[in-house]
Structure 1
């Protein structure tokens, strides 16, 4: 294959994965067909199998891309705040960002892909892809907790507080996504945000 054609094929493949990640986040994996992905990417349906072995192969790559995109966004949020204010405020900024209402195509992949990853029919490969992505975001969140709580915190205490805050943040976002803008969803998000703010304030004292 000539170099120009090979480079174009690689660009087309990247466009398909980017398009799939966006559509899967917006509408759910099970609600998006290969034909829809290819049409949205501006490519023919017939070209799909020149690039991917199956829809599952595409889903795997789309999962990896979506989790990577979220990780980069989290980094940008915390770095921006740390430069402008103080490192301990990164957690507060991250929680606020996570709970902020946003378009579905920018939804957290932990939420957007959970229904796919939790079905009994899901393959071991897809389940593993989801698990790796979630564990990577958890580790990133834990680093922010460490930055906020300080180096003196005991490992067990760090683990406990991280688990509570992370699960509460994701749970509040999941309920907000399912229920919409209701008094309860606002109260839950507000409680988690206040808790993160209090942790940052305590660290600064």
Structure 2
């Protein structure tokens, strides 16, 4: 039987099944996403606390290689904690296997706070580059705009902006040659919350703004 998920009537927390139930607090985002998907399995990244220190714990026991993967990640985690696990799972996905099926994709899940339903956005193959500083001399494709995530704000060309002003800013301040597509290059500090990161990603998907397949994680001092 094909597994189908109808993403409806969930709260902001969902439980990981198993001998010991653990809660994953999904990001709360007021942005519509994908509400239904067939043939899927789940990957869980939850927050664990030990003596006041938090860490990200991966549970991939329910994943099936020849299905779409849904990443359920706790919003309280930082990108510095989440990114190494995303890299690990992408490498796992790309391994050669007789069970591998073409066309299977990855998705991030979140709670749509407007509808009180669970939504998904695509998680395409992404190269995460971990740096110690912001390399302003990195080589980029034509018509690429660097967008830095700063909490609930974004920063473009040293100017802080609210996220919802991004489409108008790109239209008024940036133009591309006909053969080039305007592309956003995401950069963020390891302490950036997964909640803030996914909100930006969901906004870009909603507004059909192209996002580069490379993201830079660097420490802001």
> Which TM bucket (shorter chain)?
under 0.3
TM-score (normalised: structure 1): 0.22
Larger Rg: 1
More strand per residue: 1 or 2?
Answer: 2
